[in-house]
Structure 1
Amino acid sequence: MSAKKLKLEEEKNCVSGFIQHVFSVKTSRMNTLYFNATIQYQRDTFRKVACFDSSKHSTLMEASNARTPLKLTDVQIVPSKFDSSKSEVLVNHKTKIEVCRQLSFAYQQSTNDDGMGDKKKTVKEVENTPEYNKVAVEVKILSCGPITAQIVREAPIQKQELLVGDSTGSMKLTVWDSLVSKFEKDKSYVIKNLTTRFFQNAKALTTTKNTLYEPAEDIINCVEPSEQTDVIEKEGKITQVCLIMNFTCETCKGKVPLSEDDSKFIRCPSCKMKMAKESLQKNIHGTLCFSFNQEKVRLSIFSSTLYTLAIANQLNTNDTEGMEDFLLSHSFKITFSTEAKIIQNIVHVTNVAGLI
């Protein structure tokens, strides 16, 4: 055997273990398709995997979901570009993948993505993450909603609803304040320090004061969301309405009934924490009957939609009676879901026509 062939044989390596955190296929700056993953190759030791053969994505994804141990033959072990004290596994079209019949250790979930310091998760993993957990994701922006406003501590702040996705699914991301309008449709980003929430019977993400983002390479195998075909827009009159205002604790999110005295402070009945009344989070929601084209429908409306309406029409959000009078006195264009019966947008028709 020649020295050259002997050297090639010596460079061949194999690694066995459990594949985890299989991310979406992306395009590198050199226009090469690749995706990242993590492999548990010892009882509590993990390595980052970079695979430059996109045809192996489904195989590694299935093994990850089923927790099937694999043996990867003809891989390269190279220093990690994120931490030179660690190594990572490079997989290409020559790498052979087969089921590993026996391992000396059991499956253990990786708590972060190969020690990169970010709890990066796929959309599917986020869906299985409890509420109020901080996560990082690498996603593509599928759509950008209109900029609206919400009152927080007596001041309006901007918000925007985005739809984001990767190869495992899609979900809503609510962007607040300075991050509004920072994300472009069809662009991919790594977004860190997001919080998981549960909104309208679905898991969602929201930005925080510590949220950071950076552009990422294009995700090409993103799951396209199903079109929402039950959303319609109608013009008509509101015949009945009931708006309810409540206040919630910033710490535990429990409801806090306001006392009628002049005290500046109040104690949360749920977590027993005492706080300034001005720190309470105000929420308004309600139900209304909407009449259009000789049809009537009962709809629900929530804070963000009401605050946007109030700001556009200079309404006092502390005066629910006045807001109800306004809703009963004018015509509106309302966008709503015929299935969920939830108002997504409401516009005073005279504002649409430019009249005052």
Structure 2
Amino acid sequence: MASPAKIAKQDLETLQGFLHCVSPTLVSKRNSKYFTALLQTSRDDFHKVICFCQEKQTSFAQASKNKTGVKLTNVKRSISYSDPSGFDILCNRSTTLEVVTLSFLPKVPPSSAKLTIAKVQRLGPRQTVGVLTAKILAPGSHNRVVNVNGSDLELQEFQIGDSSGHLKLSLWDQQIVQVEPQKSYKFTNLSTREREGRIYLSGTPSTTIVEIDDLQIPEFSELTDAEKLSEWSGTITGIQILCKHRCAKCQTAQNEFAGKSSVHRCIGCKLMQKCSSYNKTYTGTVSLTKDGTDHTLTITNSAIRSYFSEQDMCHLLQDVQDMEEHFINAGDFSVLLNEDGLISKITRTVEDKPDAADYQDKDTSNAPQ
């Protein structure tokens, strides 16, 4: 009987093709780092590649960029849950990559082509949607904070539509503040998910969002899950804002950040990068006094960023203490609370108070001498 080691070795294969869609570094539920790609093994056959050796990401990405044929040795086939008729390809540290000449030409993967919502709804779960143009019809479910691999991320669902239909789109953290209702966008590198038998879309670490000209689409009367909000007004008597940094290359959250330096080495991919290249998200705890009673609330990243953008004070986002001092000294605020008690929007309550200029502009000819 063959030993387990020999059996495992016999399972290894050599495959050839063109690499496409190499992802940034991802982190599994077991906190293992990996990246994905697509391998085009013939003119029309594409297979998902999962590589658990982060050091190979650069060579995979270079081969994809240069559209050179490759031979991957010491790889293993795996059952594909997204394509039951096909297979996935598993790579590890023993996998080698060699440039070769192939008898077919590279072709844009179907997942990288522009799709309509109707076509997305016919896909299975965990499929990549390369390009989609759609209109934000309305916010769906309320903001909530979800723990993903030990990090708290803000999540919000939106209803999006095009001329072929509509579905839900989940966006994360900074993606949330990149969109507005009734505006149209070009989305790239989305991923399909399935819930209760229905397909919906989710943003990924490599998703990009670009505003485009308004799309003319039909009205959809069956839209549901409108956000239920409560409006409170009061004074902020205490606040703590936390800033979290995440590597734009591997999406690893940084436990400590060298903010006073111009560069910082990522604890995930180990690359030294400019501090300004890291993505920043904010969360805060707010003490709001309403009708003489103090309430402790949580404010989301999207609410903080939207507020300072609307106030034309984005420069304050560079310093947490400046933001905190602004909220303490700016007077009364009106906040919108969702069903989880999160502040999803905050605005200043402006009072019509006369100032010195009002008195100087008035006619003082009849003033007492």
TM norm structure 2? 0.46
TM norm structure 1? 0.47
